[in-house]
A = this chain, B = another copy of it.
Amino acid sequence: MLSQNDLIFLENTLSFWDKIDKDKQSKIISNTINIKYLKGENIYNPTKECLGIILIKTGELRTYILSEDGKEVTLFRLNANNVCVLSSSCILKNITFDVYIDCEQETEALLINSIAFFELINESVYIENFVLRNTVDKFSNVMWTIEQILFMKIDTRLAIFLLDESIRLNKNDLKLTHEQISRYIGSAREVVSRMLKYFEKENIIQLSRGTIKIIDKEKLKKLI
């Protein structure tokens, strides 16, 4: 059962709410449940069955693609008040690529059943519009990521990543292995390690086991 707060959250997050009739609203409500994901959990991948539409209350999800030999490329991250539709990509006939979704920070969310939502997309042009617009927004995010990977020099990418992480977590000590960074920025681990050592020599960061401490933010910003 959804609480009163859940209902308000649903109405506020689904921008088409006022444009659909009471029957469709009821159908959404009766097909929505509360869900929790744990940090580190893989919540969606191409071999799993269709998950549904996720409305994030708190936490963080990371969407990525994965090569056959295990190379990951992060496409985008989703946080509080974001709606994840690619977790239901199986019902979206225009989406023909496979994504993986991991829970990066403990996440509380509402989950709308994918079969019910698929029916609703076909019944209401406004619901279809919501899903399409959400996907097109992600397209822009993905293009930004891809341009960074394809075009940007590794020092710039690493500098952007470290700055983003320190802003996101609001601290200068980042608990990250070189392996993790290489996955996030889509580059080889050896290349990341070499560049981190160069940053240390330049007194931009300080390296210790499993931790990277940013000591000169201004120098880091100049690399961007």
Footprint of B on A, CB under 8 Å? 65, 67-69, 71, 73, 92, 94-97, 125-126, 128-129, 132-133, 135-140, 142-144, 146-147, 149-151, 186
> A132 to chain B: which residues have CB within 8 Å?
129, 132-133, 135-136
> A71 to chain B: which residues have CB within 8 Å?
150-151
| Nearest CB in chain B to that of A150: its residue | B73
Contact: A68 with B128, CB < 8 Å? no
Instruction: Tell me the complex Cα distance, A150–B142, Å.
Output: 13
A67, A135, A139 interface centre (most CB from chain B within 10 Å): A139
* Given A139-B142, A142-B146, 14 additional A-B pairs, CB 8 A: A65-B151, A67-B150, A95-B140, A97-B140, A97-B144, A125-B129, A128-B129, A132-B133, A132-B135, A135-B139, A136-B136, A136-B139, A138-B139, A146-B146
Copies of the protein in its oligomer: 2
| Selected A-B contacts with CB under 8 Å, 30 pairs | A65-B143, A65-B147, A65-B150, A65-B151, A67-B147, A67-B150, A67-B151, A71-B150, A73-B150, A92-B136, A94-B139, A95-B136, A95-B139, A95-B140, A97-B144, A97-B147, A125-B125, A125-B126, A125-B129, A129-B129, A129-B132, A132-B132, A132-B133, A132-B136, A135-B139, A138-B139, A142-B142, A142-B143, A146-B146, A150-B186
Instruction: Tell me the complex Cα distance, A144–B96, Å.
Output: 9
> A65 to chain B: which residues have CB within 8 Å?
143, 146-147, 150-151
Contact A149 B150, CB 8 Å, known A94-B140, A132-B136: yes
> A138 to chain B: which residues have CB within 8 Å?
139
> A139 to chain B: which residues have CB within 8 Å?
94-95, 135-136, 138-139, 142
| Nearest CB in chain B to that of A73: its residue | B150
> A147 to chain B: which residues have CB within 8 Å?
65, 67, 97
| Nearest CB in chain B to that of A146: its residue | B146
